[in-house]
Amino acid sequence: MNDSKLDRRNFLKTTAVGAAGLSLLANSTASATEEIALPLPDSISLRQLIPLNHGWLYSERSSAAGMQANFNDKAWTRVNIPHTNKMLPASSFDEKEYMFVSAYRKHFRLPAALKGQRIFVDFGGVMTAARVFINGKDLGEYKGGYTPFSFELTKDINWTGDNVLAVECDSTERKDIPPFGGLIDYLTFGGIYRDVHIRAVPTTFIENVFAKPINVLSNDRKLNVKVYFDGKIEGPHSVIVSLLDGPNGIASETTTDVSGVSEHVASIEPLKEIKLWDIENPHLYTIRVMLRRAGTTLDHYETRVGFREAKFTPEGFFLNGKHLKLRGLNRHQTYPFVGQAMPWRVQKHDAWVLKKELHCNIVRTSHYPQSPHFLDACDELGLLVFEEIPGWQHIGDKAWQDLTVQYVDTMIRRDWNHPSIVLWGVRVNESGDNTEFYTRTNKVAHDLDDSRQTGGVRYRYNSERLEDVFTMNDFGFPLRPPNHPLYLNTEFSGHMYPTKRGDNVERVREHANRHARVHDAVASDAKYAGAIGWCAFDYNTHDYFGSGDRICYHGVSDIFRIAKPAAGFYRSQCDPTEEVVLEPAFDWARGDENESFTDALVCSNCEKLVYYVGTRKIAEVEPDRKTYPNLKYPPFRTNLHSAIGKAWEDLRIEGHIGGKKVIERKMSARGVDKQFIIAADDKELVADGIDMTRVVFKVTDEFGNTRPFAQAAIQFAIENGEIIGDNPFALVGGCGAVWIKSKQTPGTIRLTAKHPRLRAKTVVVKAVSPS
């Protein structure tokens, strides 16, 4: 995980065991009770964290009776978590279809070995409000779909028989719960869409740990580890804090005696030989905290930490003392068909796309705290994160604001050990000024974590700045000059220039240009810390936004995470030693008028491009440093119009570095659908009935270029798996994607895709037993 050349398959393998964990593969039918299994008996302490994602029962209709233990749920549908309350098409649906109150039930039996422990249920996220019952007892309602919550079950567990955990899930847009109350430009969907766990801990246990590196660039660096206990430690105990460096074992350790406290700060120092976390070598350590009494370990808590210094200054952003111009994209965590209910592998894949394919160095979690799996991947890959609270322009009443302040607290406590996070967003996106409200949110952030700065995204240039960094959505061009010492552009382009893959060549080219010109402008002045474009992926939205089909086409990639030509600009901004990139921002042999090619735009990190039309050498071109004088790798622009002639011929572009050809791109002039290509992101899934991978398919010319006007309905057949997506699937811009989900049967998953004219293709994915 510390190698910048990390292979994606190995990257996912390093996290597969942790994600599968102790997942319980109940093969029972609906209403059967699941026997909870425990880990091996030599576990470090009494703490047990057991995934509870399998074998839930679901109904689209909730009732008071359905929350009771003795309710007959045999007719309910069996589902696994993550789960969306309503499967939907990728576009052109009515968002009211998922806005209802549904119900979930889970039958389980706990082993007697846990008796005497405190038992909690932990929910990673339920959209939008969850009322939770255990054996018919109402434990209360949690309001908010983007932050985790827990309920204690200890006093209500049946230790001799069946237990029923029931959840009433309200997925309506309740005005008392942020982000709702006004218009919002995204959809929230519904369901129990993040992981659920049973947590067994001793009577007094470690509730949380904040590991804060201090003076990481100095010889007197240290790690302050703040340990939060649930309840006061009574009598003599000891706290052992260990810093672990993977297979290298314990890097440092400290032991402290404690008594009569509910919090404790341990300092690990001196730390002489420490590997820094940065975007190229994101080295991660593990912190292990153990609570002991009379030589017995009662509880332990583990979290990861990276040593890095991140600062926004009047001279820009600095990581570990080195200036870094921030270049990134905003990300919504929603997907076609299932809304937000994607498992760990798919969440991590988005981080991979942003860092390894688009070569971004920062992502903004617009507009809410996102999946812990996504943030874990950002830590592992070296992708910086600006994380913010839920909201979009609207500020509600005092109770609404109180909930938002609570979300700031919960977000930071959940995520404060992620080295990738460099900025806390404590202002509702694009909201108006509210001195009292935002004084509170900033204070909570600074009190909890004084090692990170705060930001607050606005689009009013002269709005009040209570945050440390003035984070500004600037959709015009030229950009406004920075009007505060610490300044970050957090959105641009987006709704000002929505672009589909099949739009005319002038629009597709201009889409790429608009991203390039903003990053060029930002590179011209150190006072701009950087720019985060709107946005990475197209996303579903309400009927009063978007293009009339419930999609905002604002992304540099489409809703299936398939790159549009504008994505080529971001790809091209990496060093050629990482990847040589040559991405035309056009499709060849298109349009009724070939005037489009008087200004052909190519995004590349090469030193020179050589163009051939047919067998004729047309031009040798250097990067356009006149239009983009501040970019390290400016796009290339040239006039191909005069070379076209009466008949179209194939286009060939060579990329040269150091006088040698290092890459070549060919584009067909025939205008014929020649190939049907299909590929899965992963060769292996966990056979747990939850794990998924994306399968991308496209119709191309003979050189592999997507044919944006290709039209066909692709028919799928699958063995030992489930298709998540349309079947048949009508191509969108000549391509598309579905996801395949494993079943609980190890073996081989085969997905066959049949094009009506081109040959059928099959992808094979291995389904392996959970660890």
Pairing status of strand 684-686 against strand 761-768? parallel
Q: Which one is catalytic: 430, 583, 649, 684?
A: 430
Residue pair 104/56 in contact (Cβ under 8 Å)? The answer is yes
Take residue 267 and report the two structure tokens written for it: 């300092």
CA distance 36 to 23: 10
The rounded radius of gyration (Å) of the Cα atoms in the chain is: 27
193 Cβ neighbours under 8 A, 6+ residues apart: 81, 82, 83, 84, 125, 126, 127, 339, 340, 341
Run of H or E including 9: helix 8-20
State the alpha helices, DSSP H only, in 392-478. 398-415, 435-448
**Angle formed by the axes of helices 398-415 and 435-448, to 10°?**
20
Strand ranges inside 537-635, DSSP E: 539-540, 551-552, 582-584, 600-604, 608-613, 616-621
Cβ count within 10 A of residue 299: 22
Take residue 489 and report the two structure tokens written for it: 């552009």
- Of 127, 182, 185, 94, give the one whose Cα is nearest residue 534: 185
Q: Is 702 a catalytic residue?
A: no
Q: Is 430 a catalytic residue?
A: yes
Residue pair 118/163 in contact (Cβ under 8 Å)? The answer is no
- Could you give the 3-state DSSP secondary structure of residue 401? helix
> Angle at CA 311, nearest 5°, toward 463 and 326?
75
The Cβ-side half-sphere exposure at 651, using a 13 Å CA radius, reads: 26
- Of 106, 143, 117, 1, give the one whose Cα is nearest residue 49: 117
Take residue 434 and report the two structure tokens written for it: 């509210």
Q: Which one is catalytic: 491, 583, 654, 684?
A: 491
Strand ranges inside 542-615, DSSP E: 551-552, 582-584, 600-604, 608-613
CA distance 231 to 222: 28
Strand ranges inside 269-426, DSSP E: 285-293, 296-305, 310-313, 316-319, 322-323, 326-330, 362-365, 384-388, 421-425
Residue pair 501/511 in contact (Cβ under 8 Å)? The answer is no
CA distance 532 to 473: 9
For residue 247, cis peptide bond before it (omega within 30 degrees of 0): no
Structure-token match 């309920």, residue found: 151
Active site residues: 430, 491
